[in-house]
Amino acid sequence: MNNAVLMLLLLMSMTFGTACSTQLASAGGVVKPLKIGLYWDEECTNPVSSIFFGMIAKGESRDVTFWLRNNSSDKGLISLDSANFNPSSDGISEIWERKVGNLVYIANWHKRMKALDLWEIRLTLLVAPDTQVGNYSWDLTVCLVASEKITCLYVACALTVTQ
């Protein structure tokens, strides 16, 4: 039963996430891309609408790589956050790293993004050894703060913690 519920949540999340994160339409019917985008590929053709980390055993970690692009002519600060954990968990944490150069990922990076910048990002999910076994879901929020305007993407995430 838990797997069926998780799959239903993922399908709902993917549908909602795609509608909210790829494009917005204006009242005149013209499609306007969001100022920032998360993509699975460097060519920015496959947007990230949800992330299923799969099954991770207690005490282990898993990482995903994606590309963050500033689609606007505005430069600004990038904000990365997670919220709405269900159920609540202090045992799941994240490390956001940006690729600098050809081989190095760094965790302490300057988050000021220039217009039309494209960054490779690695998100590592850490599951503490004392985390409760079960299914978890939450939202990743990625925001661009530019010229007193804030543009945010919301990406639905899910994970199953095992023994």
Q: E strands within 41-148?
A: 50-57, 61-70, 76-86, 92-100, 104-106, 112-113, 118-127, 134-146
Range of the domain at 61: 2-162
Query: Which pTM was predicted?
Result: 0.76
Q: What are the tens digits of pLDDT across the range 106-159? A: 987 778 999 999 999 999 999 999 999 999 999 999 999 988 889 999 999 999
Tell me what pLDDT residue 33 has.
56
Q: Which of 89, 85, 75 is nearest to 130 (CA)?
A: 89
Measure the CA–CA gap between 7 and 52, rounded to whole angstroms. 10
CATH code, domain carrying 42: 2.60.40.10
Burial class (CB in 10 A: 0-12, 13-18, 19+), 35: buried
Evaluate the omega torsion of the peptide bond into residue 129 and state whether it is cis, within 30 degrees of 0.
no
For 33-68, write each residue's pLDDT tens digit.
568 999 999 999 999 999 999 999 999 999 999 999
Number of domains in the chain: 1
